[in-house]
Structure 1
Amino acid sequence: MANFVLVAGAWLGAWAWDEVAAQLREAGHGAFPLTLSGLAEKHGAPAGQQAHVADVVAEVERLDLHEVVLVGHSYSGIPVGQAAERIGGRLAGLVLVDANVPVAGESFADRMPEPAALRADLAAHGGWWPPLPPTEFAEQGLTVGQIARIVAGATAHPGLSLTEPAVLRGPLSALPTVYVKCLLDWPEPPPVVAGLVADGHWRLVELDTGHWPMFSRPAELAQVLAGAVRTAQSDR
């Protein structure tokens, strides 16, 4: 059995994983949802991307976890991907859920279609990225109640984490990774992911749901995560 450290994307905290964590625990795994600095119950403290990397590493070490599967959703794929390099032999696998991936020397903003617009938005809101309005969650496989829950729990995201560049010690191909693509959001994975999958380094799993599967398909997502453990074990 594995120990899952679950990290949600922008605006969200550990609470976003409640249903998925329950499913994993019922299956006998350890599940440890983590809130990154500056978000949810930790809201209010400015935090950069490297602080978020340190959050993940520190949680693994604090709990003395082994056979760790790091799970990063959306934005958090960037710090989680970096943390995967830094926990050494504790790492059993990495799962990126419809996530951004770290690119050495580049930030989250650098990889956006309109990086200048994001930076302007951050400046206009005092260095914070405001949560999305309810309309932005349409056509993502979410119920009205699920959208209301996300909006109610979301907090502004620390802008420095979006503009600070990633620091990688080795190639992404060295990380034992399963990439989960949520098809309602966009049917194709990012080009860097597509290349790693095509070359046989990473594995791709598709979910017929939107960008927030921990809300729209928690049981199915938990099954995918458990399957990633079996994949990692068979690759050893």
Structure 2
Amino acid sequence: MVNSVSGTGSVAAATTSLASSSASATDGSDYMTFLRMLTTQVQNQDPLNPMASTDFAVQLATFSGVEQQIQTNNLLSQILSGTTGSTLAQYADWIGREVLTYSPAVYDGDPITVQTAGYSAATSANLVVRDSSGTEIMRQTIPVEATEFEWSGFDEAGTQLPQGVYQLQTEYFENDAVVATGVAAVFSEVTGVEASDLGSVILLKGDTSALVDDVLKLRSAR
């Protein structure tokens, strides 16, 4: 499970809460086990050969150390929970806005803003559009320099492509030889934020996603 911020802006610390509960249960069990062992030892010691005061002091010190460790673990769990929630909350206002990433383009009938890196040594360049299975659907000529433009979602014949997820790639040529290829960046609407082992993840329209660290630009929705 992952922590998430949904479109309502709420923060759910599911993973951290479960981990904290599990850790607390384990630590509490160890604490009570140690207490029962110490109590049993005192009750059953030989009256003619009682426990030395130094040994008893050592065990009491150990008991105190266990208690302090449990309290420390609980405090660390609370800090972790608060930190995770705070990290997600700072991206809550991204929901409903658009981010530029190298994620696949989700075409819903409206033009998509595309940004290419460019290649100065090229003499020509194409934008290659592939469907979700990787099949080439169309290609169109684009500038060789870095540029931002609107991809309409229509093929070379002027037919509108079906709504869905598409891969937008770039090919740069020097005469007829391909000298560079890449992935075009596209703007996508943010629908939520999640916490993962890799960091905060931006959820995008069309069930795609990207790490916050991979976001190139942020803008208001059109």
Give the TM-score of the pair, scaled to structure 2. Answer: 0.21
Structure number with the higher strand fraction is: 2
Structure number with the higher helix fraction is: 1
